[in-house]
Structure 1
Amino acid sequence: MSAKEQHNETVDTVEEETAAENMDHVSEGGEAAEQPAADARYDELAKQADEAQQRYLRAQADFDNFRRRTMKEKEELGQYASMKLLGQLLPVVDNFERAIAAASSNSDYESLAKGVDMIFRQLSQTLDAEGLKPIQSVGEPFNPEFHQAIMTVESDEYEEGIVVEEVQKGYMLKEKVLRPAMVKVSG
């Protein structure tokens, strides 16, 4: 090879190497340009994850507080649920005390009986206002949901399975049986 050809070959090789290095720098520069964008995106996602974690912890704390508050209110409701009813019954108790005091100082039993009857009606009205109703039993078919049979009796007046006599009244509180009626059933 001639010197001129060697020189051209060397120049070509140097140019190829320079071009290759430039390509490396471009790709490094491209990665370098992409690296800050990726870091920024990562930082943004990390920030969002932290915010979501904080929202979750706050929501969990709010829920725990709500649960504690609800349990406390439920306990208080259970303790003081009868407060309204007892407040309505206090006048009945007052009237019973007055009747007992009047009976001890006076031997008029007829007026005592009238007073007790009035107090009983007052008590019945208060209980009725709260939704307490007596269960009607005599002459009705026996129903184990409302009646508790204590015995069967022979009856010419009623057919079999009918309540003949009520031994103890039963009561409903709104739509629920509070106490079933104790009854005798024809057999």
Structure 2
Amino acid sequence: MAEEKNSIHEELIDETVATETVEGEAVEASEIEGEETISLEEQLKIAEAQTKELEAKLEEAENRYYRIQADYENSRRRARLDLEASEKYRAQSLISNLLPAMDNFERALQMEVDGEQAASILQGMEMVYRGLLEALKNEGAEQIEAVGKEFDPNFHQAVMQVDVEGFDSNHVVEEFQKGYILKDRVIRPAMVKVNQ
């Protein structure tokens, strides 16, 4: 930067000292065509002002470049994170749609049956239910443990409070509907009864 200032300074001095021959007479370049003579100090002040103005413009352009580059990097990072999240939770809507069917399977499996034919149908339904649970587990979905666990509003939805002996305070006594979690995201909280 100092070298640039020195070269500008030298150019200004050369311009002032440069002479032209007009009808055999040496005349300063600045005096041609009736221009007033500008002192060397004034020329230096003008050059320094122009240099400061150019430096300010350069700094502004550099700042704008760095902001644009940062915005570009942030948008790339956001796009990558969105893609990772969509890949990670791609099965969420399917699992949400399957949960009512899973609830119906659980209710059907709790029925008491008489006769071999009904028992074999129930056994087949239990195999299908276990297959669905395994498929959910392969996608990263798991049932939320509730009964006997401490109530956690992030995983449990309390619909009733009771006072039951044998359970600690603020612990889940009974589960009305199973909750499911996909990786680290709760798809549906468990609907529970909590001890006071």
Structure with bigger gyration radius: 1
TM superposition score normalised by structure 2: 0.44
